[in-house]
Structure 1
């Protein structure tokens, strides 16, 4: 067949006769098959395995799955190598296909069989010593193998594919001769292959090779010519036409327009002929729709897209409509996924048929026979459009009819809930719903005003619906939009219209799901529309929430009532809360007497919020509340229930902050002794008391002021230790094994590196930094002996890459530390060394560190905090920057200005040649930073 010359030498033919005779091969094969060897059907207890067994893992030349065993008997005079060489020569130089056919069949014998072991060793030998010759042998087999041996032909193709793609560079480009032979063979197979299964394998392989190794237009123009001719031919085989269009679809991303040997107009005409034909099946039209999407995405630009998109988009929409009628989920997913890619990459290409296209895609949601996943993909298409900052968003905002239909479809999907008391009523359950995730992204991109303010009738009809699902959908929709929209204040008109209906749903709706959703929405309104919502509706909200707290038949509704009351009261002014204070405190004290720890825990959190907001008004209730809190704290400590203990310690210290140090003197020792004992014990990383202990010291310091000094020798070292903690980074042996599902671990991308951090440990570090900042701010010069150590701990955190919040706190603390040092130095609390002021030393340490941090800061928001701190620090200090540091400072300022400029440019887009910019309020943060930078010009 083919020369046995090693792969480094040019291959040659050893016989002029054709390698395989279509007429003789079957007869020879039948005559020479031996029972039990070479003929799988004669083997005992054996059934033909799937061709997938010829995958790379089983054919790898780098490792053999079984120990090397000589195929010969021990008395054989030949070595294993001689045996393998003789078998290889048999395969390569045989005038017929029998040796290769036997070999391919043996590669598909059962695992652990001797035949399979020997076949794999022979395959590795052929790849190592006769690689090119063996590949050409396989190519010839594919060309001339008789149709009776379709399975062996399939095995041959699998082996060839595995060889050509098993390493990074592959054999494809090894020699131009090999390259040419393979291209010719592949095109020949595409033309003549009758097995659809093998034809699809060839298509996949051609796409792989074209993707990895070949520029189609310049290096393999025959392939695109073949595709074009196949699409335009009058072939009787619809399957081959589908394969040709599928190949075009897969090849388009790999071929630049400038490399095309056939004009894109010709391909466009071919696609239109398919759409216009009455004889084409829906499957062929789907393939044409997929290819049309990629045609628009990769082969058109702003200057010519209207020529093609105007008609192609209509054909794509008509295909989607037909698929909806047929309930074809798989094909709808494929077509809309491609449209979503087009919306992300070139939203302007949709402008010619925008309304028609979007409304048609949204009709998918109405498909009765379609799966939920298919309906969600329609929303994801709109999400992709809305998240394009200028073009897609502006086109959506410009059509109120599209927005109305979008809201109808979202409400329809939100209403598609089962009446299951165990699901759908927890916030985590709701947030994980695909429709909720889509709504959240749309709300963030388009804004609440666009989604809510203009459609009161739509929501009113849902509020009045008889079915609970529609009422639940409307209430939940408003809560999600309030939580996720980028500028909640836009919703002011909308929530004023809806608030009364939502509050009424808490009190009057008969279904617990609706009451839960109403409480969830009140919670979001309390957080995002503060304090206007509290000021306007406190007289209606308070009775509704206290009533829901007694809903013992529906525990999740009851818990949500506590959460809503927490957020409502936390964001209340003391004057708004005062009329309700007595009723709330009495209600909470009754709940504290409940045995249920979950109810007690939520009650403690609400009591903390009430104390926080009411401030000195809470003092008259201190003597009534504190006995309960002390009993709960000591009981939790005795029972080693650290979750409950953390809640009680938090509540006590929050109450102390509200009432002031004069009220709490008789209770301090008891709580401090508990904190001392906890600090001496070993608390696990995930123990809630680790973080609560740090917060308790910080709150106690703020409450006591200078009277906190006796406790500083215990509190400050603990805060410093946690602020320096380093055990938050995880370096896994296998990144694929990292489980982020429970939230205890999260991934961070730093440049081109991915790391994982323990969230609890990082939160502890942040809490410690905040505690140090809080105590320093409260004690001022009273921190004197600890100022240096606190500064040495917080200054390195200015460049802490793993948490922007830690960088923010560290930057905010710098002016506070300098003020403390300045006063302490003036009062004589700090000693001079070598004739130099401690304050000046600290300035020389802090100010250059802030400059370095500014030069490396990537977030404008944090850069603004650093600039504020620098401003204060430089006004307090003398000139402490040397020439190099001054240069770095100026470069940092220029860097910030460049970031502002680049962000501003990124917010400017073009639609149909008209420049558009986003609303001025979106530039607010950049403008603030810009103003701060300009102010430094005067320093």
Structure 2
């Protein structure tokens, strides 16, 4: 077996490029481990001990961790429990032996990680220690003279502190001494591994406990500086640890922030000539991370803001002074997003950092310092890089400048540099105009109208292709914020003439951006463009036949975008004659020209968005093409979302995955029942993404696709019911794993829509199960809310953190309101089956959520429940006692100070009036009418006109419902004039039509 395993591993670690062979090797290895896990593991350990091939030993050390740890990647199955006690004991013993004999440090570190994660798995349950010898063995390693063994001990400890820190509660003093000794050790590797262990522990400690280890920070910063003097790579490792702490526990640095800043400043500014770029960047990033988490550290200290910005600009000017010809005129197929040089990465790093600082610290505090530095940089005479950095950084301020005069002064200040002899400075001006055109849209366009359009068009004639390309992009984004009346026929003709000259004669990046600008021009011009539309379409379609080489993929993508934008901008009768041609073109491109081996082929995103635009306007015409469109789309999506197991996927590009989901969501909605043949395959693609842990947006969008798929199957009720059962299971599983309340809201809303689209389909048993899960979800949300409320009152919590906790409370309350809507749909669709559930809510939940001490959102939640019970269950099922209590609550909350609570209660009183039996309504009428009348007299407060109008309409509508449905029980002579006086209803909707008809019968 050992030889067989070695051969399989060789196929996995060798230079074999065949993906099929590698996949077979993975499957073979998995099969052997499942058939005989004991022999498999023993053979792995033997190979790890005796193989001379470092690649094989590296693979085995990593693989052993993955198959024995509870904390490894989801795609690996932990086989520890299936091993015999003898094998388990052998693993524990041999791993420690291997640490002592392995000479390659990277492999030794992997073995240490394996021990650490396996140990954490076995120590996780503090009441059932399955490896009692582990900690004594680790402490023993620390006592050895060998540097390698001490380093391994720290590596093991890092994992144990990460996953099983509870086991060290009684070892605080030992840890402090251990950490202190490690930091004072003269060996660099010991210092680094010690700091990694400290970082792991700090990240799992409560804030109060972290203070006990704050005394280590001066030693850590001292070690950081010492290590960088001999090994900058190791200095980067230390800063990465500090950055990780800053991400999760920034307050740890509160009292020592100035010391850290001093070290970073010294490395970046005072010793900049000998400090490498990567070390400088991670240092600045660490400082920025702390500040974005605790902005008060510098918010009230302008000199720190000034110094921090100087630190950032030091990165932006640290670029080559000579401009290379490849920058001026890049090769065909060049992509700025993919192939940008390290110089631009430094500039982008600085720009992004400035954006983070302004967003977190605040524009009022940051912008004055920024203006001062930029002013000085723009005056630089002897080095263009300072002017370039200043102008590029201005691209980040558009969204933060509130005053028009300031925005105009920024643009006016940089426009003069369009005449500068240096092309990178001209480029920077156009880049900044492009970004501000997007961020400050439409304010910038309203300030400059066509004046800036003319200036940008002039730049299309620049002698440097890179500048021309950026001019086209700036023109495109500026046009997107203009109104149709801001451009006339003369300008359209001039722009068209210049753009087609670039499309025909420019290099690839010039052609691409010119087509991009053309799309914006068509969108803006609309009917004004019709005179040029046919000629443009002919020229655009020619691009597909003329530029078929790989280097023109981006150009073909831009052309798809331009044509499909035109499909939305011009009348259907003008575009329809080109519909078949663009459909066939996109089908050909997605089937024949997208490189399946290239994970970042730009054509993918353009094909997806192209189909999306076409389906929004031409879905009925596209139905006949679906058999040709859909297979290629599936193939394309499968290249983006790679299925590893039944429940797990791998995504290389999250942006492409979001586009793919967005496109599928539109297809599902637009094609409806015509999409029914593709529901099963689409389901297989989408459902694993509902639990994709690396992106909230992907989980959110995937969940939103499911109700549409249910609706697609509405012509086949049996299939639809099976689908919705499956989807509810998927969504519950996703909601139970979810940690983001906003995504959870989307998941619950998707569940609600799935049930609403299907109607009464659940058995009583299924409904009980669903009801129990709903209550559990509600209780879990309430626990999280209570935890956030508790943290808000902690002394250590500052104002910024309080805002975060308050936001979390609000999100939990929004989630609970969404749960109330889900419950309402259950009442609506399953009526009598929900009565036991309704009784539980009535006795256990309602009293808590309508208590006067809880928040407005909780009151809204409670009123939603009452409204839904009244509307969908009615008097017959609820009985007179509940009916009386519901009226008491509704008549109280219709006078609430909160407009949304008042509106919900007003709606409830109307439904209450409809569903109350005529013979008993007189006992309620005076209470209802007085409550509605008093509510109508409440003056508008700070709420928006729209919200106040909706509330008012609900009140008047409910009075109308009393007149319409309980006519004989009220004094019509008094009530009707009051009702008529408050007409018309300003926010009319379908629910009010019957009231309007009733009004008409009196006229």
Q: Into which bin does the TM-score normalised by the smaller protein fall?
A: 0.5 to 0.7
Corresponding residue for 1:512? 423
Shift of 1:260: 5.4
Contact 1:860 1:896 in 2 (8 A): no
Are residues 583 and 286 of structure 1, via their aligned partners in 2, closer, same or farther at CA, if it must alter by over 3 Å? same
Contact 2:778 2:816 in 1 (8 A): yes
Are residues 726 and 877 of structure 1, via their aligned partners in 2, closer, same or farther at CA, if it must alter by over 3 Å? same
Counterparts of residues 489-568 of structure 1 (less than 5 Å): 496=407, 499-500=410-411, 503-504=414-415, 507-539=418-450, 541-551=452-462, 553-568=463-478
Which of 211, 221, 237 is matched with 1:317 structurally? 221
Are residues 883 and 328 of structure 1, via their aligned partners in 2, closer, same or farther at CA, if it must alter by over 3 Å? same
Contact 2:309 2:354 in 1 (8 A): no
Corresponding residue for 1:369? 274
Counterparts of residues 79-228 of structure 1 (less than 5 Å): 224=139
Shift of 1:922: 7.5
Counterparts of residues 288-307 of structure 1 (less than 5 Å): 291=194, 294=197, 298=201, 306=211
Are residues 250 and 301 of structure 1, via their aligned partners in 2, closer, same or farther at CA, if it must alter by over 3 Å? same
Are residues 317 and 481 of structure 1, via their aligned partners in 2, closer, same or farther at CA, if it must alter by over 3 Å? farther
Which of 378, 400, 416 is matched with 1:463 structurally? 378
Are residues 891 and 332 of structure 1, via their aligned partners in 2, closer, same or farther at CA, if it must alter by over 3 Å? same
Q: Which has the larger radius of gyration?
A: 1
Shift of 1:651: 3.4
Contact 1:815 1:869 in 2 (8 A): no
Contact 1:218 1:259 in 2 (8 A): no
Corresponding residue for 1:433? 345
Are residues 524 and 678 of structure 1, via their aligned partners in 2, closer, same or farther at CA, if it must alter by over 3 Å? closer
Which of 667, 671, 683 is matched with 2:591 structurally? 683
Q: Is 1:623 the counterpart of 2:531 in the alignment?
A: yes
Relative to structure 2, which stretch is displaced further, 758-767 or 846-855? 758-767
3-state SS of the aligned residue for 2:650? strand
Are residues 331 and 538 of structure 1, via their aligned partners in 2, closer, same or farther at CA, if it must alter by over 3 Å? same
Shift of 1:630: 1.7
| Structure 2 Cα separation of the partners of residues 226 and 788 of structure 1 | 64
Relative to structure 2, which stretch is displaced further, 795-804 or 349-358? 795-804
Which of 576, 594, 604 is matched with 2:515 structurally? 604
Corresponding residue for 2:862? none
Contact 2:476 2:516 in 1 (8 A): yes
CA distances 1:134-167 after superposition (whole Å, capped 9, x unpaired): x9xx9xxxxxxxxxxxxxxxx9xxxxx9999999
Q: Is 1:658 the counterpart of 2:530 in the alignment?
A: no
| Structure 2 Cα separation of the partners of residues 247 and 673 of structure 1 | 65
3-state SS of the aligned residue for 2:411? helix
3-state SS of the aligned residue for 1:382? helix
| Structure 1 Cα separation of the partners of residues 712 and 7 of structure 2 | 62
Shift of 1:436: 3.7
Corresponding residue for 2:367? 453
CA distances 1:73-96 after superposition (whole Å, capped 9, x unpaired): xxxxxxxxxxxxxxxxxxxxxxxx
Contact 1:475 1:502 in 2 (8 A): no
Shift of 1:607: 2.3
| Structure 2 Cα separation of the partners of residues 750 and 166 of structure 1 | 18
Gaps of 5+ in 1: 1-56, 66-126, 139-154, 156-160, 191-196, 231-239, 276-282, 483-487, 731-744, 777-782, 822-837
| Structure 1 Cα separation of the partners of residues 654 and 457 of structure 2 | 34
Shift of 1:417: 0.9
| Structure 2 Cα separation of the partners of residues 385 and 264 of structure 1 | 25
Contact 1:569 1:610 in 2 (8 A): yes
Contact 1:340 1:384 in 2 (8 A): yes
CA distances 1:703-732 after superposition (whole Å, capped 9, x unpaired): 57xxx86x4553344445456x257447xx
Are residues 751 and 209 of structure 1, via their aligned partners in 2, closer, same or farther at CA, if it must alter by over 3 Å? closer
Contact 2:191 2:223 in 1 (8 A): no
Are residues 583 and 361 of structure 1, via their aligned partners in 2, closer, same or farther at CA, if it must alter by over 3 Å? same
Are residues 649 and 227 of structure 1, via their aligned partners in 2, closer, same or farther at CA, if it must alter by over 3 Å? closer
Shift of 1:369: 1.4
Contact 2:391 2:414 in 1 (8 A): no
3-state SS of the aligned residue for 1:801? helix
Shift of 1:412: 0.5
Shift of 1:378: 0.9
TM-score w.r.t. the length of structure 1 is 0.58
CA distances 1:230-287 after superposition (whole Å, capped 9, x unpaired): 9xxxxxxxxx798898687557546865675984565578679x69xxxxxxx46995
Shift of 1:500: 1.9
Contact 2:95 2:111 in 1 (8 A): no
Shift of 1:413: 0.7
3-state SS of the aligned residue for 1:416? coil
TM-score w.r.t. the length of structure 2 is 0.55
Contact 2:687 2:730 in 1 (8 A): yes
Which of 577, 580, 589 is matched with 1:672 structurally? 580
Corresponding residue for 1:799? 687
* Greater share of residues in helix: 2
3-state SS of the aligned residue for 2:395? helix
CA distances 1:679-702 after superposition (whole Å, capped 9, x unpaired): 689931618999878877775676
| Structure 2 Cα separation of the partners of residues 162 and 716 of structure 1 | 46
Relative to structure 2, which stretch is displaced further, 331-340 or 211-220? 211-220
Counterparts of residues 478-489 of structure 1 (less than 5 Å): 478-479=394-395
| Structure 2 Cα separation of the partners of residues 789 and 680 of structure 1 | 22
3-state SS of the aligned residue for 1:755? strand
CA distances 1:497-520 after superposition (whole Å, capped 9, x unpaired): 874267526624432223323333
3-state SS of the aligned residue for 1:465? coil
Gaps of 5+ in 2: 11-41, 53-57, 69-79, 124-130, 162-166, 329-335, 596-601, 691-697, 825-864, 869-1003
Corresponding residue for 2:732? 855
| Structure 2 Cα separation of the partners of residues 545 and 606 of structure 1 | 11
Shift of 1:542: 2.3
Are residues 166 and 649 of structure 1, via their aligned partners in 2, closer, same or farther at CA, if it must alter by over 3 Å? closer
CA distances 1:585-622 after superposition (whole Å, capped 9, x unpaired): 421233214522644443333222223244xxx31331
C-alpha RMSD of matched pairs (Å): 6.2
Shift of 1:806: 6.1
Contact 1:685 1:761 in 2 (8 A): no
Are residues 748 and 891 of structure 1, via their aligned partners in 2, closer, same or farther at CA, if it must alter by over 3 Å? farther
Corresponding residue for 1:357? 260
